Chains A and B, each alone.
Chain A
Amino acid sequence: MDCEACTDRMVELLYGELPASDAETTRAHLDGCDECADAYARISMGKDFGSLLDMVEPPVSVLDSVMAVARETAAHRGPATEPALPEERATPPRAERDEEDGAWAGVLRWIGSFAMRPQLAMAMSLLLIVGMGMWYLPTLRQGDPADSHAIVDPAPGDEVGPSASLEPAQPLDLEANPRTGRILPREDPPPRPTPRPRHEPQPVVVATTVEETPAPDEPLVAQVETPAVDTSASNPPAPPEPSPNVIDDALPDPRIAVLQQDLEPGESSGMASASTAPRRPTRAATRPAMAYEQESAALPPTAAPAASPTPQEGSGDVNRYERGLRRYRERNYRGAADDFESVIQRPGGDTRRLIPSALHHLARSERSARNCPAAVRSYERLLRQHPSYSGVPEAMIEAASCYERMGRLADARRWLERARTRPAVAARANRQLAIIAQRERASDRVPAAADSAEAY
């Protein structure tokens, strides 16, 4: 051992922390090295001086206060093992206190025990904030045009109509079913009297909820851009210009023209959407009209589909189409599909423009009849052959829904990706894409979980 190693071990040797073997080696070195022996003697003397250091006693009062706190803390943490002194029993047991003070005092004492807990205080504060927020929310939403329209997130596989929150409220022919309490479209809208000479405004029924799925009897009647017909002009109305976005299905219903011929100059046809001249030039004028409004616009008021067709119609194709609509409303999807199929297979001169709508209704009828494979064929045909049909965005969403029901998520995603480029249905498409992604992740997780279970 050299002197450096000996110096390193001197202190340990002095305080007895050196292992026996090392201690012996170090002592042997100290015996033979005067320099190291002197150094060891110096620190040994220092230790002797240190051992004479006076130990000062701490004041008792300090420790008394510490022990008081310790006893209090121990009492909160658990049962004290030390016997309680008789004089320490300052508070009687709870049962005795309840007897003395009454049951209410016990309840109040129990509530009071929670009063100062910070967690409870935080929870109460949070509840108060949430409560105030919910209290003021209806007040803040007053005047919001979207207030009366709830936006319902669709369940996977279903779809909802476009949120009306961005559109002006549309009058709908609705009635409450007294048996179920549901608000449904009126089965047979009562024939509106032909207003002469002025059109009385119809009472507007605003839907307060959006059905999660479109009512099966909600016909998507020819989503035709119906230009306003100014019947007050002395000259006969000029033939409407077709919208550049709408092809053949944008042509006006010939029945409207027939009806207009019966009107005197200045008279109104009384049709809700087609004849109200001072209609605001809003997006509602160019977007696909709401189904029931559109239906009432497309049909003359006195021309109930099953009752007495207008003599001028005369076309069996139109009758088939209207019968299909009626059957669709009556949930006779098979019959409706047959009618729409016949319209598509044998289009007449007047019904050629109805082909996209009939195809769309055919697809919807098949979808409602749970015949998704046939429905997707019709949807694919509609989307391929009539890309400029105004109901294409809706059809994309519906086709995706059918594919999703069939488990063909890739095809569903394909149509939803296209639908998300259409502003009218972009939000719904995004929501549905998110749902599909969630389903795909869930399906991916299932085998992983199984694997991990096997691993254990």
Chain B
Amino acid sequence: MTKDPSDEELLRRFNDGDAEAFATLVRRYERPLYNFILRSVRRRERADELLQDVFLKVVQRSRDFKGNSKLSTWIYTIARNLCIDHSRKMVFRRHKSLDAPGRASSEDGPTLLDRTAAHGAEPDRAAVAEDLRQRIADAVEELPEEQKDVFLMRQVQGMRFKEIAEVIGIPENTVKSRMRYALERLQRALADYAEYVQELK
């Protein structure tokens, strides 16, 4: 069984004219990168455009990559910069997506207890799972931007804290602190589902 080529090796092959190597890279990054962008910009159509822009920039500037850092760091730097540019453009017209569900906090909607009471003594677990997924998405979306970036890169892409520090340009300890704050905030926002999640585990 042959070991999969590294990201850097795939990019080198692409620079030598191997388009299939770039296809492999796209397959590796498309899903986590798209989710990273989607959680940042919140709108799918914008996320589609930005994902395309990220890969196109990688194609155009692939020869600029010197290999001083990991390719994932470089790609996420491009993606984050594009997301920041988009956020600056949208800062005056930011609004919640019309199809976005309500927040998970008690002020914004019914609690899990309310919903389970409404559904009877044996709540539909599938409905709870669906509700939980939506609540998690909302909770992540509500994270402060600096915590959300760290959380998504660590949780979705699986980047190490050192790489995240390189992408964002902050000390590694700051990255860890932001990650800890993000996790605590998620735990507080989704505390109603703690028992359910424990059961899932």
Contacts and interface: CB of A to CB of B under 8 A. Distances in A.
Nearest to B20: A82
A73 B17 CA distance: 8
A174 to B, nearest CB: 65
A153 B201 CA distance: 92
B28 interface: no
A50 B17 contact: no
Given A50-B151, A70-B22, A77 B31 contact: no
A7 B55 CA distance: 38
B70 interface: no
B137 interface: yes
Interface in A16-38: 17
B156 A69 contact: no
Contact of A59 (B21, B48, B151, B154): B48
B52 A49 contact: no
A196 interface: no
B83 interface: no
Given A74-B19, A81-B13, A50 B186 contact: yes
A442 interface: no
A446 to B, nearest CB: 40
Contacts of B186: 46, 49-50
Contacts of B23: 67, 70
Interface string B110-154: 000000000000000000000011001101100000000001001
B17 A81 contact: yes
A48 interface: yes
Contacts of B139: 49
A198 interface: no
Interface string A38-78: 01001111111111111111110011011101110111011
B12 to A, nearest CB: 11
Given A74-B22, A78-B16, A79-B17, A42 B187 contact: yes
A46 B184 contact: yes
A53 B156 contact: yes
A42 B186 CA distance: 9
A11 B30 contact: no
A6 to B, nearest CB: 12
B185 interface: yes
Interface string B35-59: 1001000001001100110011001
B187 A45 contact: yes
Given A12-B176, A70-B14, A78-B17, A56 B56 contact: no
B180 A75 contact: no
A77 B185 contact: no
A42 B183 contact: yes
A80 B32 CA distance: 28
B161 interface: yes
A8 interface: yes
A77 B183 contact: no
A46 B197 CA distance: 10
A359 B17 CA distance: 81
Interface residues of B, number: 55
B173 interface: yes
Contacts of A52: 132-133, 136, 197, 200
B182 interface: yes
A3 to B, nearest CB: 14
Given A50-B151, A70-B59, A62 B19 contact: no
A397 interface: no
Contacts of A63: 26, 30, 55
A15 interface: yes
Nearest to B129: A52
A62 B49 CA distance: 8
Nearest to A73: B59
A58 B176 CA distance: 29
B90 interface: no
Nearest to A74: B19
A354 interface: no
Chain A CB within 10 Å — which of B15, B38, B132, B186 has the most? Answer: B186
Nearest to A78: B17
A363 interface: no
A77 to B, nearest CB: 5
A240 B39 CA distance: 105
A62 B47 CA distance: 10
B26 A66 contact: yes
B193 to A, nearest CB: 7
B164 to A, nearest CB: 11
A63 B132 CA distance: 30
Interface string B158-173: 0011000000000001
A59 B176 CA distance: 32
9 contacts: A11-B179, A42-B183, A46-B185, A47-B183, A48-B197, A50-B155, A58-B30, A77-B15, A78-B18
Q: Which 6 A-B pairs have the closest CB atoms?
A: A78-B17, A46-B183, A58-B34, A74-B19, A43-B183, A46-B186
Given A52-B200, A58-B30, A80-B19, 8 more contacts: A11-B176, A11-B179, A46-B182, A49-B190, A54-B136, A55-B32, A56-B44, A77-B15
